[in-house]
Amino acid sequence: MNIFKAKADYFIFREEVNMQITWSFFKKLTEENVRKYVPRDAGVYLLWVKLKNDKWRCYYVGQADNLERRLLQHLSDDEENKCIKTNVRDYVSGYEYAQVAKQSDRDGIEKFLYDHYKPECNEIDPGGKPIEVNLP
């Protein structure tokens, strides 16, 4: 909790919202890579697509109780999000994740990442109070 002096006898309390998280190395989104490198732990993740100019754009921000299972779902034929399905099927995709155990932290981080990247495949705003984190 930080305290800032506003006037002679008044103090404003501000809750600290910055959090440092450890991002994984960037990997190509394949079933083999997910099974080999992604833990079955809770966390947040980013899906990226390679553009024609060789730059990458984040197309989806998510969170999961089990990162491995969730990323494998995105690769499956049962993926319901048509935007994700198209990016995975037709383009080169990559991913990064960060392990985050606490649900309320995942909620806030997901909101911050959503607001920052404005990913095209997220169909709804996750809502809630953003928790600012270091970006990969």
Cβ atoms < 10 Å from Cβ of 136: 16
Residues 93-103 have a mean pLDDT of 98
pLDDT for residue 63: 98
Between helices 82-90 and 67-75, what is the axis angle to 10°? 80
Tokens of 44: 């947040």
The model's pLDDT over 52-83, given as tens digits with 9 standing for 90+, comes to: 999 999 999 999 999 999 999 999 999 999 99
CA–CA gap between residue 55 and residue 94 (Å, rounded)? 12
Phi, psi of 78 (to 5 degrees): -85, 0
The CATH superfamily of 20-129 is: GIY-YIG endonuclease (3.40.1440.10)
CA–CA gap between residue 50 and residue 92 (Å, rounded)? 6
Only one residue has tokens 């006898």, namely: 9
pLDDT for residue 97: 98
The model's pLDDT over 3-51, given as tens digits with 9 standing for 90+, comes to: 443 434 444 444 445 899 999 999 999 999 999 999 999 999 999 999 9
Query: Are the beta carbons of 114 and 135 closer than 8 angstroms?
Result: no
